[in-house]
Chain A
């Protein structure tokens, strides 16, 4: 059903607004949030692929009734095929991404409703709003619409940070918002430049005008637009120079909030990178730039993660570092590379959420995030710590987990693309990732317990354990049967090149 395409965005927004209205009624908040949360991953599965024109304004060529009697300068020029309305594209890759995003949003909201003493409608509002915004970023074929949801996503992320009430969370939120209000106008400027040269904000139409020579591909304004779009992408995804603020953001949010925030970053990364690849694939520098910045993110993120003593920050840096793998896949520009990169995006979103929620249980039990003050927590809950170490295996790319499959694909893609060095660096950094993870795991779980460490006797909520198990099972399924995901991504990647 094509009419379900806008519902994927409208439903969470409506739910968010309703939650804000009824935020004092705890029971109603819980019921509404859970129902809509369950609907989020189901809708993309029921929706059929296609385009959605808001307001029903299809291009003239698809609308012969309207085209009758219109003057020739409308029906016989490019205006005939231009998209007059905001257009959403829903294809196989979007289906997978929105499904995964929906599952994670559901699990995170489910966990947060159970972990906090009083269910907060406002907090759920922020999470639904962010989910809706990122879904729209994934779907939108209209670059201005993308900008609007980019801003909404930034604002809801700021809200999620503030809601954690962690030490210095307001300061971090303000810094993030300051950087947002530099990056977002730059993205708008990119939109304005593209509008100026092509007279259009629809991405398909912009590509059409570049390919048919209506716009000179070497036009300096177009090149500036490419640069500014890249700048917005760096901010949205948290690549260097935004990696410090992004990891701080993850570390200041509540653990499940951080899990959702990193999913937002991953999917924003993918969505904007796909747009850049679609519009600017004729500039060789664009792909080189994606690879260089991804390498930088990997190296800086993972080495900085090794230096951290706060485990939330450590995972935050690891999450930023792992983003680089996706970028390398996309930057290679081959069908195999793009498939591998997109597959890695799905895997990373799942695994990093799992790690955030898993280590979050430590924070829940002790209220401490400094690894120098922790230790000996293995005896507290051996089963849970087993899941946490499995998540570490998954992140490092150890079979039978999903990241193994995607990292293997990435290495293969880099070798077939004639850049085996990238493969070597990826393997090397995977090892260091595992080492970083083990450093945190050892200090938290394995070494003797410090005498002054106090552990409260609150039980870990069932919802948290269920979320972790669901995420782990998803990782395992995708690891054993990678073709489930790649069959969605491969046709999309073929269409991109």
Chain B
């Protein structure tokens, strides 16, 4: 089985769990694959910016992220499931974001 087939199977598996009724077409499979690669590569490139803080920290984090992201593929179907239109999900993330922002600005600025 080629790599592409195994990825499509994996996507189908996850979509079955998340009760999606849409068929897995060639187009949607390649779109998910492209999204996946975009996500991983942009996160890794963004992590390189940590070099401004500490270069060793950057190397460790980039390697760790790389391993973690590759191990967790496919991420996109899961991410899509998290970012659905259910209000409970939305408000959970909104209040989480509020708490994080306040904590970040209250402690982050004073102690760093």
Q: Do A and B come from one complex?
A: yes
Interface residues in chain A, defined as those with a beta carbon under 8 Å from any beta carbon in chain B: 172, 175, 178-179, 182-183, 186, 218, 220, 223-224, 226-228, 230-231, 234, 240-245, 248, 283, 285, 289, 295, 298-300, 302-304, 306-307, 309, 372, 418-419, 421-422, 424-425, 428-429, 432, 435-436, 439, 443
Contacts of B34 in A (CB 8 A): 306, 432, 435
Determine whether the beta carbon of B27 is less than 8 Å from that of A220.
no
Chain B interface residue bracket vs A:
35 or more
**Any A CB within 8 A of the CB of B5:** no
Contacts of A439 in B (CB 8 A): 27, 31
Complex-state Cα separation, A230 to B97, whole angstroms: 11
Q: Nearest residue in A to B50 (C-beta to C-beta)?
A: A421
Determine whether the beta carbon of A299 is less than 8 Å from that of B105.
no
Determine whether the beta carbon of B109 is less than 8 Å from that of A285.
yes
Complex-state Cα separation, A234 to B52, whole angstroms: 26
**Any A CB within 8 A of the CB of B76:** yes
Give the shortest distance, in Å, between B45 (CB) and chain A (any CB): 5
Give the shortest distance, in Å, between B36 (CB) and chain A (any CB): 8
Given A223-B106, A223-B110, does the pair A241, B97 have CB atoms closer than 8 Å?
Answer: yes
Determine whether the beta carbon of A231 is less than 8 Å from that of B101.
yes
Give the shortest distance, in Å, between A276 (CB) and chain B (any CB): 11
Determine whether the beta carbon of B90 is less than 8 Å from that of A307.
no
Give the residue of B31, B90, B96, B109 whose beta carbon is less than 8 angstroms from that of A175.
B90
Give the residue of B22, B31, B79, B105 whose beta carbon is less than 8 angstroms from that of A227.
B105
Complex-state Cα separation, A439 to B25, whole angstroms: 13
Residues of B contacting A: mostly: helix
Interface residues in chain B, defined as those with a beta carbon under 8 Å from any beta carbon in chain A: 22, 25, 27-28, 31-32, 34-35, 38-39, 41-43, 45-46, 48-49, 52, 76, 79-80, 83-85, 87, 89-91, 93-98, 101-102, 104-106, 108-110, 112
Contacts of B94 in A (CB 8 A): 179, 182-183, 241-242
Give the shortest distance, in Å, between A362 (CB) and chain B (any CB): 18
Q: Nearest residue in B to A239 (C-beta to C-beta)?
A: B97
Determine whether the beta carbon of A307 is less than 8 Å from that of B35.
yes
Q: Nearest residue in A to B103 (C-beta to C-beta)?
A: A227
Determine whether the beta carbon of B110 is less than 8 Å from that of A220.
yes
Given A242-B94, A425-B46, A429-B38, does the pair A309, B87 have CB atoms closer than 8 Å?
Answer: no
Known contacts A241-B97, A244-B84, A244-B85; 14 further A-B pairs (Cβ under 8 A): A175-B87, A182-B91, A227-B104, A231-B101, A234-B97, A241-B90, A245-B90, A306-B31, A306-B38, A309-B28, A372-B25, A425-B45, A435-B34, A439-B27
Given A304-B80, A307-B31, does the pair A428, B41 have CB atoms closer than 8 Å?
Answer: yes
Give the shortest distance, in Å, between B67 (CB) and chain A (any CB): 19
Determine whether the beta carbon of B42 is less than 8 Å from that of A178.
no
Nearest 8 A-B pairs (CB), nearest first?
Answer: A227-B105, A241-B93, A303-B35, A306-B35, A227-B101, A241-B97, A306-B31, A227-B102
Complex-state Cα separation, A432 to B79, whole angstroms: 18
